[in-house]
């Protein structure tokens, strides 16, 4: 379930996910030239809709076991009410940046037993270099060699022109996609906003604090929500590091 993000990461590699990264030693992304710590999560709008795919797989597996005169499988794992498919952390020390994505998926083992598996992708941008790290659901890790980072000013200009609708939610300023760009797959999307423009991560991409999007292949609506937002509070440079990597 929702393994497409994992497969995409594997296909393009850790560094490929973060192509077009902002050079940390240049003041090219003014909105990120300040410290911040932001955590967001993506969750299914309906847990029942999310579980339709693993439930079908579980039912098929259970029928096969019955045909083979094997004992019934353990019950399908129940999801907690606060289940999140993805948790993202964005850190900026104003000179270095960290992006961490943790993904959670329902997976099935050979005996039809279901469990929640996790994976993680990280990137650190510092001194004009990008460092990547990935942990697979099975625990295998991959660390990428440092590579030069880059930044696409044309994309930044397109972003600024796309996020035009201003909103304030619980004291946090946001800019949202204009109405003509909403609908279909992206039903709504809002990024953090500062006086300098859209709040951006180390890859130069807007940090979405609110979104409602459709996953067509699963006929599922997913929500992106902010968990915590701190802008301007100092972030220790020591925290801009890949977890578990020396």
What residues does each domain of the chain span?
Answer: 4-230
Q: Identify the residue whose tokens are 């497409």.
A: 4
| Highest mean pLDDT: which range of 2-6, 85-89, 191-195 | 85-89
User: How much is the pTM?
Assistant: 0.83
Q: So what's the pLDDT on residue 146? A: 87
Beta strand pairing call for 208-215 and 141-143: unpaired
Q: What is the mean pLDDT of residues 188-196?
A: 91
Q: So what's the pLDDT on residue 26? A: 34
Across 77-81, 185-189, 214-218, least confident range: 214-218
> Average model confidence (pLDDT) for the chain?
85
User: At 202, is the secondary structure helix, strand, or coil?
Assistant: coil
pLDDT at 177 over 60: yes
Q: So what's the pLDDT on residue 246? A: 58
Q: So what's the pLDDT on residue 110? A: 87
CA 54 and chain centroid, separation: 21
Q: So what's the pLDDT on residue 194? A: 85
User: At 171, is the secondary structure helix, strand, or coil?
Assistant: coil
The helix (H) or strand (E) run that includes residue 24 is none
> pLDDT digits over 26-84, tens only?
333 444 468 999 999 999 999 999 999 999 999 999 999 999 999 999 999 999 999 99
User: At 199, is the secondary structure helix, strand, or coil?
Assistant: coil
Q: So what's the pLDDT on residue 128? A: 87
Task: Determine what percent of the chain is predicted with pLDDT higher than 70.
Answer: 86
> pLDDT digits over 78-111, tens only?
999 999 999 999 999 988 999 999 999 999 998 9
Q: So what's the pLDDT on residue 147? A: 87
* Other C-beta atoms lying within 10 Å of the C-beta of residue 212: 16
Q: So what's the pLDDT on residue 13? A: 42
Across 115-124, 152-161, 185-194, 205-214, least confident range: 152-161
Q: So what's the pLDDT on residue 31? A: 45
The helix (H) or strand (E) run that includes residue 229 is strand 220-231
């Amino acid at each position: 379930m929702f393994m497409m993000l994992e497969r995409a990461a594997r296909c393009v590699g850790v560094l490929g996910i973060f192509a077009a990264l902002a050079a940390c030693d240049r003041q090219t992304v003014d909105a990120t030239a300040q410290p911040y710590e932001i955590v967001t999560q993506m969750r299914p709008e309906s847990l029942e809709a999310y579980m339709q795919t693993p439930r079908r797989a579980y039912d098929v597996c259970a029928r096969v076991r019955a045909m083979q005169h094997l004992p019934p499988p353990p019950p399908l794992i129940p999801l907690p009410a606060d289940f999140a498919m993805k948790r993202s952390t964005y850190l900026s020390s104003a000179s270095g940046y960290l992006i961490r994505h943790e993904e959670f998926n329902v997976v099935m083992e050979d005996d039809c037993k279901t469990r929640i598996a996790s994976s993680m992708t990280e990137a650190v941008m510092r001194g004009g270099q990008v460092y990547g790290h990935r942990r697979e659901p099975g625990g295998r890790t991959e660390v990428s060699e440092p590579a030069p980072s880059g930044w696409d000013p044309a994309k930044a200009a397109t972003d600024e022109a796309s996020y035009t609708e201003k909103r304030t939610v619980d004291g946090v300023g946001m800019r949202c996609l204009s109405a003509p760009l909403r609908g279909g797959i992206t039903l709504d999307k809002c990024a953090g906003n500062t006086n300098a423009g859209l709040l951006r991560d180390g890859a130069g991409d807007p940090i979405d604090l609110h979104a409602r999007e459709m996953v067509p292949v699963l006929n599922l609506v997913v929500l992106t929500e902010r968990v915590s937002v701190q802008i301007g509070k100092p972030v220790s440079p020591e925290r801009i590091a890949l977890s578990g990597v020396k």
